[in-house]
Amino acid sequence: MRKHIVAGNWKMNNTLEEGKKLTSEIVNMVRDEVMDDTIAVLCTPYVHLTTARDLIGDAANIFLGAQNCSQHESGAYTGEISVGMLSSVGVSYVILGHSERREYFAESDDLLAAKVDQVLSTGLTPIFCCGESLEIREKDEQYEFVTQQITNSLFHLSQENFSKIVIAYEPIWAIGTGKTATSDQAQEMHHKLRTHIAGKYGQQIADETSILYGGSAKPSNAPELFAQPDVDGGLIGGASLKSRDFVDIIKSF
Ligand code: PEP
């Protein structure tokens, strides 16, 4: 059975006090209300990680995530954060290749392949983001584009390492725009991605890979998205900053 995962990407939001309040509310609500084994991941800014870790405590189905990491192991890279550092503060998941990092920080497929390797070498789980722009979708080239992103950054991995990857399909035109992909559009892309993975790694690995949807997901549209056979959860931006909305999304399976 594939894992159901709902990861919140706080992006560059929240002071430490605001983050404490949000994390505490989420931890309490998940403890009281989430009865299945859906995994919640809080991808906070770096400065929140240790505080969030302490508030999460031993909650069985809540994990800590980061939004980025260095491709280097250690050394003279001022301002960077290594995967070893993330691991040492209790991080389990690392978002890689978010469209904002690809666009504003010029992260290429090759750089992301190196980051994926770093994350895996430390035993953490990459949440690898892919997705097309509106321009590409309007040309109906989205499947070629997104499968190529996967090939370029992930298909150098061994079968064993690939099986540790979580994928997040995030159409760029749906991120932070209020414009959600329809459940049919999400299902179609997720199915194409799974078929693409099966072509390289075999059907069993493909069937076990969690593929999350991201892009203006909210409590009102999550149930329909999560009901699709190839949608295994969500990467949630805006709605992850409101505890009630985030937990209602987690409860949407
Ligand atoms: C995201 O940034 O990963 C995201 C999906 O954002 P939003 O939910 O706000 O569209």
142: domain CATH number is: 3.20.20.70
Return the structure tokens found at 235: 């990467």
Going from the Cα of 230 to the center of ligand 1, the distance in angstroms, rounded, reads 19
Per-residue model confidence (pLDDT) at position 1: 80
Spatial distance between the Cα atoms of 28 and 34, rounded to a whole number of angstroms: 10
CB of 44 within 8 A of CB of 77? no
Domain hosting 234: range is 5-250
Neighbouring residues of 144: CB distance < 8 A, sequence distance ≥ 6: none
Spatial distance between the Cα atoms of 226 and 118, rounded to a whole number of angstroms: 30
The count of structural domains within the chain is 1
Atom of ligand 1 nearest to the CA of 216: 10
Partners of residue 54 on adjacent β-strands: none
| Residue 123 pLDDT > 90 | yes
| Residue 179 pLDDT > 90 | no
* Ligand 1 binding pocket includes 65 (Cβ within 6 Å): no
* Ligand 1 binding pocket includes 40 (Cβ within 6 Å): no
Residue range 125-161, pLDDT digits in tens: 999 999 999 999 999 999 999 999 999 999 999 999 9
Residue 43 banded pLDDT, cuts 50, 70, 90: very high
Residue range 49-88, pLDDT digits in tens: 999 999 999 999 999 999 999 999 999 999 999 999 999 9
* Ligand 1 binding pocket includes 235 (Cβ within 6 Å): yes
